[in-house]
Amino acid sequence: MPHDHDHDHAHGDDHHHGSELSPIALRVKALESLLVEKGYVEPEALDTLIETYETKIGPRNGARVVAKAWSDPKYKAWLLDDATAAIASLGYTGRQGEHMVTVENTPETHNLVVCTLCSCYPWSVLGLPPVWYKAPPYRSRAVIDPRGVLTEFGLMLPDDTAISVWDSTAEIRYLVLPMRPQGTEGWSEEKLSQLVTRDSMIGTGIALAPGALL
Amino acid sequence: MSPPDDPVFNEPWEAQAFAMAVSLEAKGLFTWTEWAEALGREIKAQGERSYYECWLAALERLVEEKRLMSAAERLTRINEWDRAAKATPHGQPIELDRS
């Protein structure tokens, strides 16, 4: 391509006739174009990845896992014993090959998941983490004052319910198995899955009550 | 029904930065442990930066540490994109003029 001399810059004032990319967009474009040229990434693969994370992977995957565990005792036992395999059996596999662990909520123990280091999160079942999960207040306070954090999420647990906090790492990601709400006997997995919120699988919430679907 | 989730990415560059890190790890150019450490370092020094700004800074640092590209190469390329953008009329795709 012949070089077109930049006559657009002849005026020397603030008015640009051309386009302008933000400094951060320039950094991303620079990085990406170099990685593509050197053969480390393919543009099509990047687009596919983005589309997958924007549209196909999300907390609905995790909700189906939970609903199946509520409906099928054998699946639940498998999920608690080998979460990586039980989750993969439904077609949800982590690109990172991370090890999944399921922690079960009971009347005695409530589980809460955090990543104090950065934002490790069970992507394959929950998609990408919400903004608050990545923010310093949650990351620092979930460990020090889990009950206080839960109160801010509107979740008041009985005083005699213990709270276990699980700190995710690059190797181990946790999925909370919330308690099945009362009054859902005989519900299909599909209907049950609608009660399973993202927050209930992080532990900052519990599953919705059946009335929430009306 | 549960309320709609936050948008996954607020701006296109966030999605691009995200996908680059995931893609490089999938190719074995670094491990998730290395990535988590790099991102953790940036987040510790977060300051006023957004989460994905930290993400990008971690990625820039890791590709250099892994010798996928040099800092000089990267900075030169940033300037090239800046010049290309400013020389491109609005509404046209911005392309690098590689001579």
> Rg of the Cα trace of chain A?
23
- Whether residues A68 and A164 share a domain: the answer is yes
- Whether residues A40 and A87 share a domain: the answer is no
- Whether residues A74 and A180 share a domain: the answer is yes
- Whether residues A26 and A131 share a domain: the answer is no
d(CA B44, CA B50): 12
A3 falls within a domain = no
* A84 three-state secondary structure: helix
Q: What is the pLDDT of residues B21-65, one digit of tens each?
A: 999 998 999 998 899 999 999 988 877 888 899 999 999 999 999
- Whether residues A67 and A155 share a domain: the answer is yes
- Whether residues A113 and A151 share a domain: the answer is yes
Query: Does B43 reach chain A within 8 Å, measured CB to CB?
Result: yes
Whole-structure pTM value: 0.75
B91 falls within a domain = no
- Whether residues A122 and A206 share a domain: the answer is yes
A181 falls within a domain = yes
Mean pLDDT value across residues A73-92: 94
ipTM of this complex: 0.90
pLDDT of residue A95: 58
B27 falls within a domain = yes
> If pLDDT is split at 50, 70 and 90, which confidence band does A13 have?
very low
A188 tagged catalytic: no
Q: Which of B23, B32, B35 sits opposite A45 (nearest CB)?
A: B23
d(CA A28, CA A11): 28
**CATH number (domain holding residue A170):** 3.90.330.10
Q: What is the pLDDT of residues A105-155, one digit of tens each?
A: 999 999 999 988 777 888 888 888 888 898 888 988 999 999 999 999 999
Pairwise pLDDT comparison (B24 vs A49), residue with the higher score: B24
Per the structure, how many domains does chain B have? Answer: 1
Using a 10 angstrom Cβ sphere, with 0-12 exposed, 13-18 middle and 19 or more buried, the burial of residue A89 is: middle
Tell whether the model's pLDDT for residue A1 goes beyond 60.
Answer: no
Nearest to A199 by CA among A111, A79, A137: A111
- Alpha carbon A196 to chain centroid, angstroms: 14
B65 falls within a domain = yes
A202 neighbors A113 (Cβ within 8 angstroms)? yes
Nearest to B25 by CA among A49, A129, A88: A49
A128 vs B8: CB contact, 8 Å cut-off?
Answer: yes
A148 falls within a domain = yes
Query: Does A209 reach chain B within 8 Å, measured CB to CB?
Result: no
B16 neighbourhood in chain A, CB within 8 Å: 28, 32, 46, 50
Q: Given the DSSP bridges, would you call strands A109-114 and A162-167 parallel, antiparallel or unpaired? A: parallel
Tell whether the model's pLDDT for residue A36 goes beyond 80.
Answer: yes
d(CA A19, CA B66): 33
Pairwise pLDDT comparison (A7 vs A59), residue with the higher score: A59
A141 falls within a domain = yes
Domain, as residue range, for B25: 12-84
SS (H, E, C) chain B: CCCCCCCCCCCHHHHHHHHHHHHHHHCCCCCHHHHHHHHHHHHHCCCCCCHHHHHHHHHHHHHHHCCCCCHHHHHHHHHHHHHHHHCCECCCCCCCCCC
- Whether residues A66 and A39 share a domain: the answer is no
Pairwise pLDDT comparison (B67 vs A49), residue with the higher score: B67
Q: What are phi and psi of B11, to 5 degrees?
A: -140, 155
B23 falls within a domain = yes
A128 neighbourhood in chain B, CB within 8 Å: 8, 18
Per the structure, how many domains does chain A have? Answer: 2
pLDDT of residue B5: 52
Query: Does B35 reach chain A within 8 Å, measured CB to CB?
Result: yes
Tell whether the model's pLDDT for residue B2 goes beyond 50.
Answer: no
- Whether residues A81 and A169 share a domain: the answer is yes
A119 tagged catalytic: yes
Q: What is the pLDDT of residues A173-185, one digit of tens each?
A: 999 999 999 999 9
B92 falls within a domain = no
| Identity of residue A50 | I
Domain, as residue range, for A43: 17-54
B94 falls within a domain = no
Query: Does A208 reach chain B within 8 Å, measured CB to CB?
Result: yes
Q: What is the pLDDT of residues A145-170, one digit of tens each?
A: 999 999 999 999 999 999 999 998 87
Look up residue A176 and give its two tokens: 């909370």
B10 neighbourhood in chain A, CB within 8 Å: none
A192 falls within a domain = yes
Tell whether the model's pLDDT for residue B81 goes beyond 60.
Answer: yes
